[in-house]
Amino acid sequence: MKKNLSTILLIIFFVFSAIAHYAHLNPILQFIVSAIAVVLVAGFLGRATENVAHYAGQRLGGFLNATFGNAAELIIAIMLLREGLYDMVKASLTGSIIGNLLLVLGLSIFAGGVKFKVQNFNVSLAGMNGSLMIVAVIALFVPALFLNTHSITSTEVDTLSLIVAGLLILAYIAWLIFSMFTHKTYLADVTNEGDDEHESPEWSKGRSILYLIIATVMTAFVSEWLVGTLETFTEDFGFSELFVGAFVVAIIGNAAEHSAAIMLAMKNKIGASVEIAVGSSLQIALFVAPVLIFVSFFLGNTMDIVFTTLELVAIMVSVFIAKSIIQDGSTNWYEGTLLLVVYIILGVSFYLV
Amino acid sequence: MKKNLSTILLIIFFVFSAIAHYAHLNPILQFIVSAIAVVLVAGFLGRATENVAHYAGQRLGGFLNATFGNAAELIIAIMLLREGLYDMVKASLTGSIIGNLLLVLGLSIFAGGVKFKVQNFNVSLAGMNGSLMIVAVIALFVPALFLNTHSITSTEVDTLSLIVAGLLILAYIAWLIFSMFTHKTYLADVTNEGDDEHESPEWSKGRSILYLIIATVMTAFVSEWLVGTLETFTEDFGFSELFVGAFVVAIIGNAAEHSAAIMLAMKNKIGASVEIAVGSSLQIALFVAPVLIFVSFFLGNTMDIVFTTLELVAIMVSVFIAKSIIQDGSTNWYEGTLLLVVYIILGVSFYLV
Amino acid sequence: MKKNLSTILLIIFFVFSAIAHYAHLNPILQFIVSAIAVVLVAGFLGRATENVAHYAGQRLGGFLNATFGNAAELIIAIMLLREGLYDMVKASLTGSIIGNLLLVLGLSIFAGGVKFKVQNFNVSLAGMNGSLMIVAVIALFVPALFLNTHSITSTEVDTLSLIVAGLLILAYIAWLIFSMFTHKTYLADVTNEGDDEHESPEWSKGRSILYLIIATVMTAFVSEWLVGTLETFTEDFGFSELFVGAFVVAIIGNAAEHSAAIMLAMKNKIGASVEIAVGSSLQIALFVAPVLIFVSFFLGNTMDIVFTTLELVAIMVSVFIAKSIIQDGSTNWYEGTLLLVVYIILGVSFYLV
């Protein structure tokens, strides 16, 4: 019943945003309907990925989850790239990273912590996640520093960006091998109370694959429609490109992860919430961002890896507080509160710029 | 006997510093007697708070301790605010934070570590303290960065300062709820050898409350007298406002915490020492500093939350080393030494500016 | 057999590089032969130290290891100091620190991790090492910050440098007392599989001492010959002084540590590898660098402690990632990979400057 409703809503908003786009309706209206459509399509894509993952087995399933999980962000970002909106691409990547590390993780830990006094998860995974986050920060920070303190040519910046991007993609592939093959059990989730549910797939194998393809195509379309409205939208409301990219686009693009992570935390599966929130931000930093640099290179105009100071600092402080909170493999409601406080401080600061 | 002596000394120095102040005696003399009076009054305030806490029960007692513990600093800072000495307020807040995290904590850990090989305390509390310190650093760092890298108006800086201050006060209230109500036992101290003493209160209930009121009023007076001498004092000795605020004022204002924390560490109650030292610095950052921003706002001239680069860096490095040392819930003499080395490096650097 | 071969090679390359130097042969040739000679002599010095350590007992042995372990770097640096090449001294110190923390530690953890799934070592030692690294970073960072943000005279910078250097040497001596006397067993290595080998000394007591003296003298000579070639070398290849100092000199100077640490990791003695890699970088920061500052002071022209921004950031990011990886006292191949990724990012960045 509930699922039928969401399917109907999905179709309605998809069609409605298509009409709004092609009929050049009021831009605010276009923005609103396409934003809702993105959220719904992202949810559909998430469900399709989960179902395919179910049939593909744990290992390949995990990989599919990892690859399709950020499909919406990746497609939105490619649309922005083609429009030459490099600054908004970086702002939305920043927003995805901090949105996952602070908002998604913060709400999950808070919601789970209100229900359960202390929630535990694999402390080795927490440690590895922390180190990966530090590497991601270093990879973004070092090139920015070199550019700001030395007179290096833009060709050199592009070269450095491509090399660092290549290294990050290799590190990400090595991480998939490590976490899905060589050290799968080492990183396995600890058992909390109420963990014993086994969920069966919603759809048949063939239907799951079909839906995955449909969902990906739909995501591409609604993402393009949404991006088309952002410029007018920012002009009308007077928000900075940075704020729109880092908060508006990022929250919409991560809507599916948000709800899934919070639900899991409230079922005492905080390890899965952490994996979604932290894992998703790591994918953005180690895979999506580097891939976009290569995409821009092949489109003929390399996007460099140099983020603005504000973006870098936002990513850095998010990583520091998230690392500090997850590193003992145990969470409580107050730790969720701290993440949300930092998110609001960053949000207000970005809004005021 | 010993207590009578300290009461007599307290009265003598209080009266003496009153005379020195109102009779406009030599400024150096004024500074010395009022500094001694502040130390004695702070000790008296501490004893009165402990006694009231005894009757009020553990929970309310903890809250009173938390609120009155930094009363001396708060009152000194308000006096400085009214004189418009915003830079010295920030310098003294900085000094309180780094003085507690490096000098008080360092001496406690060193003194305790010389007597006991390894001292342990609650590792969950250590982790939470670490995360709170990171949030405090972020709250000070982000606005400073925005101001330094962007042309934002002073009204916007004030708005941002008030919002961040409000968030920190909320975070502090939530911390009190967390640490005193929802997760009291989770953060309870581990038992070390020689922990089994039960101390009975010194005074009756009525007398304790009366003394608390008297001590608070006395603190207000001696603080004002001390602040009045600082300007002349800095001029005569050629010390910078930064050095006086961060080292002289801070050491005097925290004298009571210093001695209490070191005594407790030598009784193998290192958990209590950490709570005083780290807890006190957290109160300064999360409660005293934000309250001062609101006080200045109501006085008609908002003090912003933007500390100087040196102050920020001093706070940041103190937090990093303190977090690194306490995070495993276990200390030894060498860790105390490291904190003191960092304190001396900062002291020499501030002195040379 | 293998040992005879290395002795013969050592003598051949020592003589050859002497000839190349005094006969003013082609500078590239001079560089190559003296670089090989440095590697071989460093290995010989390492073996001699180990043998003397064997007879001197564990405690004095550890101290000798600590002091002679970085003898090659120290002697090279003094040669550079006498030539007035202060920038290259700092670059080579930076390179030694990051080379040990990223390359040596990374290769050891990777090689050990490929053979053994998870390798463990003393978690208290890991924590202490982390805190010491943070103190080293603070000691380098604070003076640099003061110089960059305040107009302080060069005399004040020299004073600050000498004071900080003195504090670091005291901290290092205290660390020796802590780790070799008061808390020796607290920091003892955990037992992994295959740990039970007892190695007997290669040489007699007298011969060991004689070889130690010869090796030190040889190191001094070949270091001087190597340094003499660097200028021409950098000019011909167009490498920056920074890159040569931080990567070429550092890799050559640490060759002995590199091979020893990797061998030990593959024998499942990861604790010893960490001690060599991290211990060696700590010695550079806490002992070698401060000693060089005093040496330059006595030579009449104090080298200040202010490193360039790039060097500081390279050291900082190396410390952050190394601390994050060792702090749980457990390593795996992926953590080694992450260290190597950061090393390559820094290497490429330094190369491009």
Residue closest to C77 by CA, chosen among C69, C89, C95:
C89
Residue C120 is given by DSSP the state E
pLDDT beyond 80 at B260: no
Other CB atoms within 10 A of residue A200 CB: 5
> Which of A18-32, A292-306, C324-338 is predicted most confidently?
C324-338
**Stretch A166-192: mean pLDDT, rounded?**
85
Other CB atoms within 10 A of residue B24 CB: 9
Q: Report the DSSP beta bridge partners of residue A335.
A: none
Q: What is the pLDDT of residues C232-253, one digit of tens each?
A: 767 777 777 778 777 877 777 7
pLDDT beyond 60 at B264: yes
C188 CB within 8 Å of a chain B CB: no
Phi, psi for C190 (deg, rounded to 5): -80, 160
C338 with A163: Cβ contact below 8 A: no
Choose the closest CB to A142 out of C118, C327, C346. C346
> According to the model, what pLDDT value does residue A271 have?
85
Quick one: pLDDT band at residue C59, thresholds 50, 70, 90? Answer: low
Calculated CA dihedral for residues B134, B138, B144, B146, nearest 10 degrees? 150
How far apart CA B212 and CA B46 sit, in angstroms, is 9
Q: Report the SS3 class of residue C330.
A: strand
Q: To probe the interface with A, which of C98, C350, C351, C352 has the most A CB atoms within 10 Å?
A: C352
C150 CB within 8 Å of a chain B CB: yes
Choose the closest CB to B131 out of A118, A321, A345. A321
B341 with C186: Cβ contact below 8 A: no
> According to the model, what pLDDT value does residue B195 have?
46
C146 with B321: Cβ contact below 8 A: no
Give A152→chain C minimum CA distance, Å. Answer: 7
Q: Which residue has the higher pLDDT, C47 or C142?
A: C142
Phi, psi for C330 (deg, rounded to 5): -150, 135
How far apart CA B216 and CA B53 sit, in angstroms, is 15
pLDDT beyond 80 at A151: no
**Stretch A25-43: mean pLDDT, rounded?**
87
Other CB atoms within 10 A of residue C164 CB: 25
What is the share, in percent, of chain C residues with pLDDT greater than 70?
Answer: 91
> According to the model, what pLDDT value does residue B238 have?
74
Give A348→chain B minimum CA distance, Å. Answer: 7
pLDDT beyond 70 at C61: no
In this structure, of A291-300, B48-57, B281-290, C130-139, the range with the lowest mean pLDDT score is B48-57
A178 CB within 8 Å of a chain B CB: no
> According to the model, what pLDDT value does residue C195 have?
46
Q: In angstroms, how far is the first alpha carbon of chain B from the final one?
A: 45
- Across chain A, mean pLDDT equals 84
- Chain B residues with CB-CB distance to A312 below 8 A: none
Q: To probe the interface with C, which of B102, B320, B341 has the most C CB atoms within 10 Å?
A: B341
B148 CB within 8 Å of a chain C CB: no
Choose the closest CB to C349 out of A134, A143, A175. A143
> CA of C38: how far to CAs of A96, C7, C16, C242, in Å?
50, 13, 12, 20
A352 CB within 8 Å of a chain B CB: yes
Strands (DSSP E) contained in C78-235 are 119-120
Give me the residue spans of the domains in chain A: 2-352
> According to the model, what pLDDT value does residue C130 have?
93
- B313: nearest CA partner in chain C: C142
> According to the model, what pLDDT value does residue C149 have?
75
What is the share, in percent, of chain B residues with pLDDT greater than 90?
Answer: 33
Query: Could you identify the residue written with the tokens 């100077």?
Result: C253
Q: What is the pLDDT of residues B194-249, one digit of tens each?
A: 544 456 778 888 888 888 888 888 887 887 788 778 777 677 777 777 787 778 77
Q: Report the DSSP beta bridge partners of residue C120.
A: C330
pLDDT beyond 60 at A135: yes
Quick one: pLDDT band at residue B112, thresholds 50, 70, 90? Answer: very high
Please say whether the beta carbons of B38 and B75 come within 8 A.
Answer: no
* Domain spanning A2-352, CATH architecture: Up-down Bundle (1.20)
Q: What is the pLDDT of residues C262-296, one digit of tens each?
A: 877 888 888 888 888 898 899 999 999 999 999 99
Q: Which helix (H) or strand (E) holds B12?
A: helix B2-22
> According to the model, what pLDDT value does residue C256 have?
65
Identity of the residue numbered A165: A
Dihedral sign for Cα A13, A19, A24, A26, please: negative
> According to the model, what pLDDT value does residue B199 have?
63
How far apart CA B143 and CA C225 sit, in angstroms, is 53
Quick one: pLDDT band at residue C196, thresholds 50, 70, 90? Answer: very low
- Across chain C, mean pLDDT equals 84
How far apart CA C151 and CA A169 sit, in angstroms, is 44
Identity of the residue numbered C129: N
> According to the model, what pLDDT value does residue C153 have?
78
Other CB atoms within 10 A of residue A194 CB: 10
In this structure, of A105-114, A163-172, C196-205, the range with the lowest mean pLDDT score is C196-205
C183 CB within 8 Å of a chain B CB: yes
Q: Which helix (H) or strand (E) holds B119?
A: strand B119-120
Contacting chains of A (3 CB pairs or more, <8 Å) are: B, C
Q: Report the DSSP beta bridge partners of residue C331.
A: C119
A333 with B178: Cβ contact below 8 A: yes
> According to the model, what pLDDT value does residue C89 have?
87
Quick one: pLDDT band at residue A256, thresholds 50, 70, 90? Answer: low
Give B25→chain C minimum CA distance, Å. Answer: 36
Residues 277-336 of chain B whose Cβ lies under 8 A from any Cβ of chain C: 309-310, 313, 317, 320-321, 324-325, 327-328, 330, 332-335
> According to the model, what pLDDT value does residue A193 have?
54
Query: Could you identify the residue written with the tokens 């990632």?
Result: C321
